[in-house]
Amino acid sequence: MTAPARMPEVPGREAIAERLLRSSLDHSYEPSIDIDWDAPLVDGLWGIPEHRVSLYGTRLWFELTDEQRRTLSLHELCSVARIGLWFELILMQMLLRYAYDRDPRSKHIQYALTEIADECRHSVMFGKLNERLGVPDYRPHRITHELGRLFKTIGYGPAMFAGTLFVEEILDQLQREAMRDETVQPLTRMVNKIHVTEEARHVRYAREELIRIMPTVGFAERQLARYLTARIAYVVARNLIHRDVYASVGIDPSEGRRAALANPNFQETLRWSARKLVPFLREQGLVGGPTESFWRQAYLV
Ligand SMILES: [Fe+2]
Ligand SMILES: [Fe+2]
């Protein structure tokens, strides 16, 4: 029998993947079992923290009853989960294509496959959350949906990891805060706890990969990656809160959206959600230059 070919040595990469694999064994959930989907919602609690609701502090906000405000917070929770699910579907396909071309004996690729399994459970969890709360399907706008189809089919390299990091890190900020907030529904807190725990590994994986590949990327590819990352960030930030959520409390969707985008509290929430990520992407040369205007227009810097 011939010995298997030697795998190329990639310092550090295998050791990190091995740690991530071990952590996946020790700290993973099965949301279908670990969440009590039949538990009733608790009266008087919020879907997301009150101050993170997109209309918080606006004129429209003061015209809503307390109950309507909490209803809106549940719809916004579902909208954010829905955009997370949308991107997870894109990411799973990109990771599958990534693994298709590489050596499955490496821990690095075994971890990529493990991450797909995590994302698959997350997408079921977010789907069940939307089903449980009986909200409409807050899928992204049609053009965004089609752009996502293109990206999941051809996305690779720096933009794949940077785009992924963007979605994972802004969700991490929002969910980490809400999972500790006792004014928030236990259902939200458990969903967030599961997602935050498992996503910490994904963030590590994507950051390490970017640190490794950026020095090998040429000028033209870096410009393209900057553009794509900025586009993803803009599109995700704009779709985070679906305009139809406002209809749940009798507000015209266009009016609600205009008020949210002009709301300094909501703009600050967006900047706050990206505050850890932007300096890292800037260090990697993935934020800066003319495409930074997309980040500004989306209130992310
Ligand atoms: Fe996820
Ligand atoms: Fe993830």
Q: How far is the CA of 126 from the centre of ligand 1 (A)?
A: 9
Which tokens sit at 106? Answer: 């490496």
Which ligand is the nearest neighbour of the Cα of 126? 1
- Quickly tell me which residue has 């209803």 as its tokens: 71
Contact 84, 127 (CB under 8 A): no
Ligand 2 mean position to 247 CA, how many Å?
30
Q: pLDDT at position 156, please?
A: 85
Residues with CB under 5 A from ligand 1 (ion): 119, 122
Residues in the chain: 301
Residue 117 Cα to ligand 1 middle (Å): 10
Say what the pTM is: 0.94
DSSP labels, 45-71: -BSS-GGGSTTTTSHHHHHS-HHHHHH
What residues have CB less than 8 Å from 39, skipping those under 6 apart? 186, 187
Tell me if 193 sits within 8 A of 179, measured CB to CB: yes
Residue whose token pair is 């991530």: 20
In the predicted model, residues of the chain with pLDDT beneath 70 are 1-11
Please report which ligand is nearest the Cα atom of 194: 1
Ligand nearest to the CA of 203: 2
Residue 232 and residue 162: Cα distance in Å, rounded?
Answer: 9
Q: What is the pLDDT of residues 60-70, one digit of tens each?
A: 999 999 999 99
Report pLDDT for 18: 96
| CA 231/CA 148 separation, integer angstroms | 11
Question: How many angstroms is it from 47 CA to the middle of ligand 1?
Answer: 19
198 CB-near residues (< 8 Å, 6+ apart): 24, 27, 28, 29, 118, 122
At 206-255, the pLDDT tens digits run: 999 999 999 999 999 999 999 999 999 999 999 999 999 999 999 999 99
- With beta carbons less than 8 A apart as the criterion, state whether 170 and 273 touch: yes
Q: What is the pLDDT of residue 3?
A: 44
234 touches 294 (CB < 8 A):
yes
List of residues 6+ apart from 120 with CB closer than 8 A: 92
- Structure confidence at residue 154 (pLDDT): 87
